Amino acid sequence: MSRAYDRRVAEAGSPRLIAVLGVGVIDDPDRAVLCADDLGLTRGDGCFDATRLVTDTEGNSRVDHLNAHMARFQRSAAGLEVPCDLDAWHELIAEAVAAWTQPGHAVLRVILTRGRESAPAQPVTGVLTITPLDEAALNGLEGISVITLSRGHAADAFTDVPWLLGGIKSLSYATNVSAGREAKRRGADDALFVSTDGYALEAPRSALVWRIGDHLASTRLDGSGVLASITQVAAFNGATAEGVPTSYDLITVPELVRTDGAWLLSSGRLVAPILQLDGTTLAHDGAWTDRLLNWVIQPDM
């Protein structure tokens, strides 16, 4: 079956795979699977997570940091009070990964919604997609130019306000996409969100990491609404194992420009050094980019 699937998508020229929770892999990735009244569509009311899938020429796949991503997925679902059956998800992921044999790098995405407005008896909708990683993501290592964009709130805005869903990877992602478009419009590769009180927070789809001497730091999560990044945590775990000190802090944009280097980390693009921030050249030591990358791509410990 997986071999037949592989042939089909190779013919279509656009290899993709979709699977539905409670159903399994769908033979046609272009088949409609969601109803018009799904709350994931009508309200962005659900959550998702995404990680990198690496498939060798034999068709064997490795999923990066799967357990950490699924643990975050479960936390997001809990924050939204949407039931998340991790066992069922792991079964679906295993079936989908077995069916996916296209060599190269892809994004494995899991999507969970509150289900249909008109069918409360069917409590949730779960969808999985596998899509080849795009060029831009694969070229991030060469370095990127970034502009700062206001996030509209202070760095402590998410303290004690769980209804604002700070740190939850919800489907309500339109401002993240819009900020990315604004960056492209201004000729930059990506945006960096800044709080109204001047602190660098995160990029629309990546975490911020900076280096001062031999010390690595990333944005403090408490109250900032910043998403806990699996890729950044993997990097810091690797750093700690090699005796490199790490911490979580808040940093202003002028301070960030004076560091010894800054990166945006994500499961898709992995480690992208920021070469320009609002047109100012940042320090960059390629050896540290390599170290971060090695920590990020090593299997879970």
Asked if residue 224 lies in contact with residue 250, where contact means CB atoms within 8 angstroms, the answer is: yes
Residue 39 near a second copy by CB under 8 A: yes
**Contact pick of 25, 45, 203, 234 for a second copy (by CB under 8 A):** 45
Asked if residue 44 lies in contact with residue 117, where contact means CB atoms within 8 angstroms, the answer is: no
User: In whole angstroms, what is the distance from residue 173 CA to residue 74 CA?
Assistant: 18
β-bridge mates for residue 209, sequence order: 218, 263
Residue 23 near a second copy by CB under 8 A: no
Residue 253 near a second copy by CB under 8 A: no
User: In whole angstroms, what is the distance from residue 110 CA to residue 92 CA?
Assistant: 10
Which residue has 């539905």 as its token pair? 20
Binding part of the chain for a second copy, among 135-143, 171-179, 206-214, 280-288 by CB under 8 A, reads 171-179
**Contact pick of 2, 74, 176, 246 for a second copy (by CB under 8 A):** 176
- The count of chain residues that interact with a second copy, using the rule CB under 8 A, is 64
Binding part of the chain for a second copy, among 138-146, 169-177, 244-252, 277-285 by CB under 8 A, reads 169-177
User: In whole angstroms, what is the distance from residue 153 CA to residue 80 CA?
Assistant: 21
Q: What's the min distance (Å) between Cβ of 293 and a second copy?
A: 26
Site for a second copy, residues 209 to 238, rule: CB under 8 A: 225
Q: Which CB, 72 or 291, lies closer to a second copy?
A: 72
Residue 27 near a second copy by CB under 8 A: no
Binding part of the chain for a second copy, among 31-39, 65-73, 242-250, 280-288 by CB under 8 A, reads 31-39
Two tokens, residue 57: 């020429």
**Contact pick of 2, 6, 24, 44 for a second copy (by CB under 8 A):** 44
Residue 94 near a second copy by CB under 8 A: no
User: In whole angstroms, what is the distance from residue 40 CA to residue 162 CA?
Assistant: 19
Asked if residue 234 lies in contact with residue 207, where contact means CB atoms within 8 angstroms, the answer is: no
Residue 289, H or E segment: helix 286-297
DSSP string, 130-193: EEEPPHHHHTGGG-EEEEEEE-SS-TTTTTT-GGG-TT--BS--HHHHHHHHHHHHTT-SEEEE
**Contact pick of 5, 21, 25, 46 for a second copy (by CB under 8 A):** 46
**Contact pick of 54, 71, 165, 228 for a second copy (by CB under 8 A):** 165
Q: Residues in the site for a second copy, rule: CB under 8 A?
A: 14, 16, 18, 20, 26, 29-46, 48, 80-81, 109, 111, 113, 117-119, 127-129, 131, 149-154, 157-158, 161-165, 170-179, 181-182, 191, 196, 225
